Amino acid sequence: MINESKMKPEDYLSSVQPNWCPGCGNFGILGAAKLAFSQLELEHHQIVVVSGIGCGSKIPYWLRTYGFCGLHGRPLPVATGIKLSNPKLNVVVFAGDGDGYGEGGNHFIHSCRRNHNLTYIVHNNLVYGLTTGQHSPTSEKGFITKTSPFGATEEAFNPISMAISAGASFVARGFAGDPKHLAELIVKGIEHKGFAFIDVLQPCVTFNKINTFDWYSKRVYRLEEAGHNPANKKAAFERSLEWGDRIPIGIFYKEDKPVYDEQLPDAKIPLVEQKLEKVDIRMILERFY
Amino acid sequence: MAEKRAVKNKAMNKKRAIKKKQTMDKKRAVDKKKATNKKSRQQDNLQKNNLVWMVGGEAGYGIMAAGLIFAKTFSRGNLNVFANNEYPSLIRGGHNTFTVRVSDKPIHSCISKIDLLVALNKETIELHKDELSENSAIIYDSSIKSINAKNINVNKGIRLCPVPLERFAQELGEKKIMMNSVAIGASLALVNYDFNIFASVIKDIFGEKGPRIVDTNLRAAKEGYNYVKKNHKEFGFELKPVRAAKKMVMTGNDAIALGAVNAGCKFISAYPMTPASAILHNLSAWAKDANLITVQPEDELAAINMAIGAGYAGVRSMTATSGGGFCLMVEGLGLAGISETPVVIVEGQRPGPSTGMPTRTEQGDLRFPIHASQGEFPRIILAPGDVEDCFYLTQEAFNLAERFQCPVILMADKYLMESYKTAEGFDLKKIKLNRGSIVSEKQLKPLKLKEFFPRYKFTPIGVSPRTLPGMKNGIFISTSEEHDEFGQVTDDPANRIRMMDKRMEKMEQAKRAVPRPVLYGTKKAKITILSWGSPKGSILEAIELLKKDGINTNFMQLTCLHPFPANEVAGIISSASQVIVVEQNKTSQLSSLIREHTGDEIRYRILKYDGKPFPVDYLYAQLKKVIK
């Protein structure tokens, strides 16, 4: 599936060495991202990588592209402002499960609804890493952490079902232990016109001793190999509920529909290219006489 | 062509109307000669082109729309108008008022009296009868029989003008909402104003809704007009167009939105909140004409982060909210600070804390944006005092945000943002576009960079050259963390000191670039008034009243609160023998800022924090009390 490209994946790495734990699932996601960028032959200055705060959110520092490391939970709104200002940019958002599903849960719901032309990749390790091990919105019920010594009491959040129901037009799940497959999903996500959401199963080698590489490897299966039709919303919902012995990865749901800015009354010229010297408000002023 | 013809027709209509009026004036003059002694005494006191009109009733009766129509009717006669509304936070019921003050002299604020009260319900009369001035009048529905000389102070010469408002509205097959059109017609007849000017306003405002709506409103108003002409002849107030020119009439919110568009703002993301919602309403309505994008996001957190994203991408962007929404924006404010991203935030104050009094006015948030967010970073805080300030300072805000690559907060309040005022034409070229140090792609091309562009380069003025995403050879990381010149994270102590010093140096530079305080009156005066924001209007009128009493006062309006204009304030304080601070909060936050920056203790403070604005007469009386 991945073709030879003029741009090498390594070209997208900055000279700064990642400071993740050895063996962290984030390396697989970084590898998949650079592979996807090279596959799409994107130029460095055409990419803006936006993130929040968390282990995975450090990713812009390791990439040789424009980057914006914003606030915990808020990368989606920042990315929305960037994309609406300059639709020519490839805006790729990275967040974590605490970041994207906890602190930024509201932005996630409404970004799905608005269908901005963004790619949203969530490093989902089912635990808080950077704050040294507390349960996260996707932690399984009963998961023992520093803040849940008797087991997490909350139900785990299901990001896939949520995204489908909120109107996301591209909903997928990848696995950090399968970077090539994940890269294919990222390529399709960037190519998709609309809000492309990719939840990534990311083992945390330090704080999650249950959902490990091995644990996932035994369970994941590819939707495209199981005869799943991503155009079937009902089937997508059914697959989204699978968790346990078998965990689906791949594209759950895909739909072509107009993106947010296509539906706006005007601003045909990208905002960033408009000539501010030419602004003329005299027509508008007439309304006040 | 069609437009020209319309203008010509309008002009002809006006001529006809003036001629008609002249004949009517003559006829009235004859009537007056026949009048009794008492009547002629009233005639001597005839108040020309000076009136306060109030319409009151339940929400849902179109009171705000009626008020605006009434105000525009006079601004089109080149008269000055100031109009303010009072309403509770609900959509139906409750007590709502819209007050229009009209004068041929410059007016800047509200005044606590009513010359002509339109009561759409009985409650309005009960609530406002004590504010009625001498020789004033009440227009109310004829069905309210319980209003009589017993409960209205007729000694003040108050006239009762029952008009079958509801019956006329119903006869036109319309709901009660048409009552206000009947009432406006009745009002115009009482003050003897040109009906055609009113008709032109109706045509413009309701034109989009179709000819039927225009026609019904005009017929309703004509019924009221004719009824009053027939049944209620005498009134101590008269309004006449000054000449055939017209003025603009707008709110602070309108002027802020216009200023934003004129400054080249192309992006606004804002979550609806009184009193700032109308900024988003306006810009959404003008999106097509102004080539801009408006977003109503899920919350204020998203609002400011979207605006920051747009600012980072190189687009002039803003958000608008009230104090409560600004609470949610505080983390975003810090992000704009450390990432050195330009963004403009409108903070429309209302009484807090928490939900407080959502539809009333206050200036209780002054210190909030100055200190909001953790850590220390540059920010600029501007405070417009009237519609004109709103227009020009909003444009300054966009320039300053890009020049100093920092958040700029525009502090306004409900009274300023929602009150209407006449405005002469704006100077659209007064504030020159200044986008600061954005680097062009041409400049970037020859650069030999290792990998990243030094977006946060240490410079003597603290401002670094700025690239925009999409520019070749310009990549960098923008971040909420402390960083080096390229945006890479570092906790290095030496870098931290240099980066903090670099950022804060921008504040030093901004001191010389921000708008200066404005001094009204003589350079030196025995008594000096210091204030900021919306009390400006009442202060300007009050110092004129004091002048008539032989008291010379001057007034320094602080248009930029942060960085604080310490030199000017210290200077004026030392030149006056008595200094009075006027502001709308409980603890006199401006006084505390003055003390912080100049060491001067302000002993005389006129403060108001009841949710209502400063009427001119109230402020004048308060000043008289404290002036030694």
Three-class DSSP category at B238: strand
Check whether A202 has a pLDDT greater than 80. Answer: yes
First to last CA, chain A: 64
Q: Which of B189, B186, B220 is nearest to B202 (CA)?
A: B220
Tokens of B502: 């670099």
Residues 334-363 of B with CB under 8 A from A: 335, 339
Contact between B426 and A285 using a beta-carbon 8 Å cutoff: yes
Q: How confident is the model at residue A267 (pLDDT cuts 50, 70, 90)?
A: low
Distance of CA B595 to the CA centre of its chain: 29
Q: Are B88 and B359 in contact (CB under 8 A)?
A: yes
Q: Would you say the C-alpha torsion B167, B169, B174, B176 has a positive or negative sign? A: negative
Residues of A in contact with B288 (CB under 8 A): 265-266
Q: Is A271 on the interface with B (CB under 8 A)?
A: yes
| Residue B261 phi, psi (nearest 5) | -65, -45
Put simply, the answer to whether B314 touches A86 (Cβ < 8 Å) is yes
How many CB pairs below 8 A link A and B?
208
A interface test, pick of B3, B261, B295 with most A CB neighbours within 10 Å: B295
**Which of B17-26, B320-329, B501-510 comes out lowest in average pLDDT?**
B17-26
Q: Name the phi and psi angles at A157, rounded to 5.
A: -75, 135
- DSSP symbol at A162: H
Does position A186 have pLDDT exceeding 70, yes or no?
Answer: yes
Q: Would you call A14 and B452 a contact, using CB atoms and an 8 Å cutoff?
A: yes
How far from chain centre, in Å, is Cα B177?
27
Please tell me whether residue B489 adopts helix, strand or coil conformation: strand
Whether residues B314 and A266 touch (CB distance < 8 A) is answered with: no
pLDDT value for B41: 43
Closest residue, chain A, to B398 (C-alpha): A276
Residue B339 pLDDT exceeds 60:
yes
Which range, B85-99, B168-182, B439-453, has the best average confidence (pLDDT)?
A: B439-453
Decide if A289 touches B, using CB distance below 8 A: yes
Rounded to whole angstroms, the Cα distance separating B533 from B521 reads: 18
Determine how many CB atoms are found less than 10 A away from the CB of residue B229: 16
B538: Cβ contacts below 8 Å, ≥ 6 apart: B108, B109, B110, B613, B614, B615, B616, B618, B619
Q: Which residue has the tokens 């062509």?
A: B1
Question: Which of A43, A74, A91 to mutate: most B Cβ within 10 Å?
Answer: A74
pLDDT at B536 over 90: yes
How high is the mean pLDDT of chain B? 92
Greater confidence (B326 vs B94) lies with B326
This prediction has a pTM of 0.93
How many Cβ atoms sit within 10 Å of the Cβ of residue B548?
7
Inter-residue contact A204 to A138 (CB < 8 Å): no
B45 — pLDDT class (breaks 50, 70, 90): low
Nearest CA in chain A to B269: A81
State whether B469 and A289 contact (CB < 8 Å): no
> Which pLDDT score is estimated for B15?
55
**CA nearest to B74 within chain A:** A289
**Pairwise CB contact (< 8 Å): A266 & B287:** yes
Report the C-alpha gap between B159 and B187 in whole angstroms. 13
pLDDT greater than 60 at residue A176 = yes
pLDDT at B8 over 70: no
The residue-averaged pLDDT of B229-238 equals 88
Partner A contacted by B71 (CB < 8 A):
no
As given in the structure block, the two tokens for residue A10 are: 């390594």
pLDDT of B1 strictly over 50: no
For the stretch A9-61, pLDDT in tens is 999 999 999 999 999 999 999 999 999 999 999 999 999 999 999 999 999 99
Cβ contacts of A282 on chain B, cutoff 8 Å: 428
**B5 — pLDDT class (breaks 50, 70, 90):** very low
Question: B480 Cβ partners below 8 Å, 6+ apart?
Answer: A53, A69, A70, A71, B334, B335, B338, B339
Cβ atoms of A217 and A192 within 8 Å: the answer is: no
Give pLDDT, residue B89: 83
Report the percent of chain B where pLDDT is more than 70: 92
pLDDT, position B88: 87
Nearest CA in chain A to B334: A71
Residue of B nearest to A77 (CA): B306
Mean pLDDT in chain A?
A: 95
A150 CB near a chain B CB, below 8 Å? no
Query: Which ipTM was obtained for this model?
Result: 0.97
A84 touches chain B (CB under 8 A): yes
Q: What is the pLDDT of residues B426-443, one digit of tens each?
A: 999 999 999 999 999 999
Amino acid at B317: S
Q: How does residue B12 score in pLDDT terms, banded at 50, 70 and 90?
A: low
CA neighbours within 13 Å on the CB side: how many for A44?
22
Whether pLDDT at B245 is above 90? no
- Least reliable range by pLDDT among B167-181, B309-323, B556-570: B167-181
Q: What is the pLDDT of residues B132-160, one digit of tens each?
A: 999 899 999 999 888 876 777 767 789 99
Check residues A155 and B41 and name the one with the higher pLDDT.
Answer: A155
Beta pairing partners, B559: none
Query: Are A266 and B291 within 8 A, CB to CB?
Result: yes
> Are B259 and B391 within 8 A, CB to CB?
yes
Contact B606, B580 (CB under 8 A): yes
Q: Angle at the Cα of B173 (from B169 to B178), degrees rounded to 5?
A: 35
Mean pLDDT of B457-461: 98
Q: What is the pLDDT of residues B355-371, one digit of tens each?
A: 999 999 999 999 999 99
Q: Is B288 in the A-facing interface, judged by CB distances under 8 Å?
A: yes
The CA–CA distances, whole Å, from B375 to B43, B370, B467, B482 equal: 67, 12, 26, 11
Q: Residue B121 CA to chain centroid, in angstroms?
A: 28
The beta-carbon neighbor of A81 closest among B246, B309, B423 is B309
Q: How far apart are CA A155 and CA A133, in angstroms?
A: 18
B261 to A281: CB separation less than 8 angstroms, yes or no: yes
Instruction: Give the C-alpha separation, A2 to A16, whole Å.
Output: 26
Q: Considering CB atoms only, which of A46, A61, A265 is closest to B470?
A: A46
Please tell me what DSSP assigns to residue A2: P
Determine contact: B373 vs chain A, CB below 8 A.
no
Residue B147 structure tokens: 């209003």
DSSP B111-161: -S-EEEEEESSHHHHHHHGGGEEEEEEEEEETT--S-STTTTTGGGTPEEE
The distance of B619 to chain A (nearest Cα, Å) reads: 30
Which has the closest alpha carbon to B259: B384, B381, B369, B84? B384
Q: Say whether residue B264 is in contact with chain A using an 8 A CB cutoff.
A: yes
Helix axes B195-206, B2-33, angle to 10 degrees: 150
In angstroms, what CA-CA distances link B133 with B47, B102, B277? Answer: 12, 15, 35
Pairing assessment for the beta strands B317-322 and B343-349 based on DSSP bridges: parallel
Residue of A nearest to B489 (CA): A61
Sign of CA dihedral B201, B202, B207, B209: positive
Q: Mean pLDDT throughout B491-520?
A: 98
- Beta-carbon separation of B479 and A279 below 8 A: no
Residue B172 has pLDDT above 90, yes or no: no
Residues 73-92 of B with CB under 8 A from A: 75-76
In B, which residues are within 8 Å of A43 by CB distance?
A: 472
Q: How far apart are CA A41 and CA A5, in angstroms?
A: 7
Query: Residues A58-82: pLDDT tens digits?
Result: 999 999 999 999 999 999 999 999 9
Pairing of strands B93-103, B159-163: unpaired
> If pLDDT is split at 50, 70 and 90, which confidence band does B199 have?
very high
A286 touches B: beta carbon within 8 Å: no
Mean pLDDT of B615-625: 97
A 209-268 residues with CB below 8 A of B? 261, 264-267
CB of A13 within 8 Å of any CB in chain B? no
Taking CB atoms and an 8 Å limit, are A45 and B288 in contact across chains? Answer: no
A67 to B435: CB separation less than 8 angstroms, yes or no = no
pLDDT at A93 over 80: yes
Residue B176 confidence (pLDDT): 74
Do the Cβ atoms of A68 and B473 come within 8 Å? no
Residue B22 pLDDT level (bands cut at 50, 70, 90) = low
Q: A99-116, pLDDT tens digit by residue?
A: 999 999 999 999 999 999
Residue A2 token pair: 């991945």
With CA atoms as reference, the chain B residue closest to A69 would be B479
Q: Which of chain A's residues have a Cβ under 8 Å away from the Cβ of B337?
A: none
B581: left (phi over 0), alpha (psi -120 to 50) or beta: beta
Distance from CA of B331 to the nearest CA of A (A): 8
The reply to whether residue B293 touches residue A16, judged by beta carbons under 8 angstroms, is no
Residue A285 scores a pLDDT above 70? yes
> In this complex, is the C-beta atom of B473 within 8 Å of any C-beta atom belonging to chain A?
yes
Contact check, Cβ <8 Å, A70/B306: no
